[in-house]
A = this chain, B = another copy of it.
Amino acid sequence: MNKIQNASEDLLNAGIKPSYQRIKIYEFIIKNLTHPTVETVYKKLSKEIPTLSRTTVYNTLKLFEKKELIRSVNIEENEMRYDGQKHIHGHFKCTVCGEIFDFNYNYNDLEFSGLDDFVLNQTDVMIKGICKKCRIKNS
């Protein structure tokens, strides 16, 4: 049922004016689902947009997140990462290679106690460990 839309339409639907920079940043995020940092987005897009500013990337990604177009991933302790996938899923960080993997879990299986009358807006499940590749490499 997902209507295929282009970047401009997505931005307009979120109430964001689709400027050139915003379209390019949005397209990068939804096409590169590797949880890139601001610096990664900036470096890659700078080749295409030589005048691009880091501040624009920071502000634009923050704007996208506020408008719920994308999500931020905070598993890295020092640097923010962004995620173009909006469906509920968890993140696994390999402490050896640093890569961040997606995984699925059933949100409805989670029962919380101690949060009566709280409003729950966003749930994040984060796991740290060793990925398959690194586990085998260091046999």
Docked CA distance A136–B116 (Å): 13
Judge whether A105 and B116 touch: CB under 8 Å: no
- Alpha-carbon gap, A114 to B129, bound state (A): 14
Query: Is A95's beta carbon under 8 Å from chain B?
Result: yes
In the bound complex, do residue B119 and residue A114 qualify as a contact, i.e. CB atoms below 8 Å apart?
no
Contact A102 B118 (CB under 8 A): no
Instruction: Evaluate whether A104 and B109 lie within 8 angstroms (CB atoms) in the complex, with A118-B132, A126-B124, A129-B122 already known.
Output: no
Contact residues in B for A20 (Cβ distance below 8 Å): none
Residues of chain A whose beta carbon lies under 8 Å from any beta carbon of chain B: 74-75, 77, 80, 90, 92, 95, 101-106, 109-132, 135-136
A103 with B111: CB separation less than 8 A: no
Taking a contact as CB atoms closer than 8 A, the residue among B75, B109, B117, B129 that contacts A118 in the complex is B129
Cα separation A95 to B122 with both chains bound (whole Å): 11
State A136–B49 Cα separation when bound (angstroms).
48
